[in-house]
Amino acid sequence: MEHYDIIIIGGGPAGATLAWALRGSHKRILILDKQHFPRDKTCAGWVTPTVIDSLEIDLDDYGLGRTLQPIQRFRIGMMGQPALENDHSEIVSYGIRRFEFDEYLLNRVTADKQLGVPVKTLERHSQNWVINDTWEAPLVVGAGGHFCPVATKIGAGPGSHETVVAAKEVEFEMTPDQALRCAARGDTPELWFCPDLKGYAWVFRKGHYLNIGLGREDNHKLGDHLHRFVADMKSSGRIPDDLPTRFKGHAYLLYARAQRPLMDDGALLIGDSAGLAYTQSGEGIRPAIESALMAAEVVRRAPDYSASSLQRYGEAVAERFGTRSLNTTGGWRVPDWVRTPMARTLMRSHWFTRKVVTEKWFLHQHVPQLGAESY
């Protein structure tokens, strides 16, 4: 049995950030991930400048041989009506490919890693967690995304009792000919809201890559919604008409609807495993990273890993993201007050789509970078 101080399950943005933030802490850390990296992750792949700053990423370095698409404008509309374009006059976001981004974050972690190793067993023996009968640690951190085994162990885990967002997406490298036939521009991602405001679709061009997807609060006829949207985008020439046919699906939790516990004796959940994605946009990378930074600070200061010593993490999450609503039904992405007959009119307003939809819901520009005083 190999002993560690902390075992992190999942090497995505949450897990990699936690290990990176604990560098120099003299803690013996192991990251376990069931996949080898680089690996695909279903995601549109846009990140805000705050994420880049929080992770101290040098964009000149990152951009060497990787896709890094600066975003300055947004094209926003409601399906079935013309879209608006808003120019923010500066770079307000970036497009990355998760295939590259996640590997970059994991590669700079110096902790021990076991990749291509799924967690099969996770048992509590006295003061330690024992994983796959091979590794043990007094603290296990669940960073394994929506289906994280730690979330299953310390809570009710994933299941039909949870209100998830369901999404389907494809990302592929365009041929030069497809790129010519694609009207969508790299610096201008497109957001198309469903008429019932229960979700939205996106067309996101990142360098030579094109990412198209649709997410909704209910997965009823998700494929039909996507099919109609794609057909519409093809016929208007916004995307090439010879796309790959295989869209990948994924479901995950939004913060306001999630009910998972954040910690237990010797256990913490961070990122999607805790259900932290922003409720209005579904953006999950920033909450994943911020929860990892908060967890790192709490772990550094905790006298032991009892639930009461880790309680500060739960408080920090609530202070940062708000107290979770107990109402787990209905409503997704947009506040209820927008779901009115006014919605169509609002979506035709430059002011509303820019100030509320983009800057507030999607870019969270009103939320400053996480500072040390936040935890």
What is the spatial distance between Cα 183 and Cα 147, in angstroms, rounded to a whole number? 37
Dihedral pair phi/psi, residue 334, rounded to 5°: -120, 145
Pick from 8, 11, 92, 314: which binds ligand FAD (CB under 6 A)? Answer: 11
Residue 33 binds ligand FAD (CB under 6 A): yes
* 178 burial type by CB count under 10 A (0-12 exposed, 13-18 middle, 19+ buried): middle
Pick from 213, 266, 275, 331: which binds ligand FAD (CB under 6 A)? Answer: 213
Pick from 118, 195, 223, 244: which binds ligand FAD (CB under 6 A)? Answer: 118
Residue 10 binds ligand FAD (CB under 6 A): yes
Contact at 8 Å (CB) between 316 and 298? yes
Pick from 277, 293, 317, 363: which binds ligand FAD (CB under 6 A)? Answer: 277
Strand-by-strand arrangement of the 29-33 sheet: 112-115, 29-33, 6-9, 139-142, 267-269, 263-264
Between 40 and 177, name the residue whose CB sits nearer to ligand FAD: 40
Pick from 285, 316, 334, 370: which binds ligand FAD (CB under 6 A)? Answer: 285
What is the spatial distance between Cα 82 and Cα 347, in angstroms, rounded to a whole number? 10
Binding track, positions 130-169, relative to ligand FAD; x by CB under 6 A:
-------------xxx-xxx-----------------x-x
Residue 106 binds ligand FAD (CB under 6 A): no
Pick from 155, 186, 266, 271: which binds ligand FAD (CB under 6 A)? Answer: 271
DSSP string over 330-371: S--SS-GGGSSTTHHHHTT-HHIIIIIIIIIIIT-TTSPPP-
Distance in Å, CB of 340 to ligand FAD, minimum: 27
Residue 122: Cβ within 10 Å count: 19
Pick from 94, 129, 135, 252: which binds ligand FAD (CB under 6 A)? Answer: 252
What is the size of the binding site for ligand FAD (CB under 6 A)? 42
Residues 36-65 that bind ligand FAD (CB under 6 A): 41-47
Of 26-34, 220-228, 329-337, 364-372, which part binds ligand FAD (CB under 6 A)? 26-34
Q: What CA dihedral angle connects 145, 103, 64 and 358, to 10 degrees?
A: 0
> What are the C-alpha distances in Å from 166 to residues 137, 169, 223, 274?
34, 10, 10, 17
> What are the C-alpha distances in Å from 34 to residues 21, 120, 236, 283, 355?
22, 10, 41, 23, 41
> What are the C-alpha distances in Å from 22 to residues 27, 60, 295?
8, 25, 10
Residue 279 binds ligand FAD (CB under 6 A): no
Pick from 6, 14, 21, 71: which binds ligand FAD (CB under 6 A)? Answer: 14
Distance in Å, CB of 345 to ligand FAD, minimum: 27
Distance in Å, CB of 53 to ligand FAD, minimum: 15
Both tokens assigned to 85: 């374009």
Residues 291-350 that bind ligand FAD (CB under 6 A): none
Distance in Å, CB of 176 to ligand FAD, minimum: 26
Q: Which of 115, 94, 131 is nearest to 285 (CA)?
A: 94
Between 22 and 32, name the residue whose CB sits nearer to ligand FAD: 32
- Please give the residue ranges that form the binding site for ligand FAD (CB under 6 A): 9-15, 32-35, 41-47, 118-119, 143-145, 147-149, 167, 169, 213, 215, 250, 252, 271-273, 277, 282-286, 288
